[in-house]
Structure 1
């Protein structure tokens, strides 16, 4: 028997500096805040962010989270990819916030344009053209 999976419900990200990451995901990437709670017993914030009309990111803060290796090609989540209508406009938007972005490349299999940058904790994020 195989479970029937409908869709991805959310993506959870733990950040090291809540205010810096909150700013990045809401002001740089423009995600809408759905809910924000502080859990005093864990000294932890949880921020629910709307991504498009179907997905959400849960942004968590915890005191002194350990760093997670992401490069070179560490096991685990490789990167988070967001489809954009216009990759040039999307790159210009994040660069206007002084976020370094890699040069745009072309996917050899799909012919689509894509590029990478990082969130404040170094999580690789990809913009993938529509």
Structure 2
């Protein structure tokens, strides 16, 4: 194992000490019948996987008397998990509260220890 890969493995292990959620990531895949596509079916990528969710800050232009329940967040998760764009992410926090994110980008895996996935929370009041 190269020293760079070894350092990445040590960073990944240390990253888990900062995890603040267990995530379930789901997507859909096309169902084929012969040569035709016959709809989609749900696919679970991971269930109750340890990760870190970092909430984006609200800019001053977004602040108003009544704030919408909508914000951007970043999911920090291990690099070995393939996360396609368009997934949904359910994150259960340390307090047991479940947050459902409706959109996710494809993972950015430019780091040795983790990948980052941009999420959007958009709940209706």
The interval holding the TM-score normalised by the smaller chain is under 0.3
Length-normalised TM-score, structure 2 = 0.25
Q: Which has the larger radius of gyration?
A: 2
Q: Higher RCO, 1 or 2 (CA under 8 Å, sep at least 6)?
A: 2
Length-normalised TM-score, structure 1 = 0.24
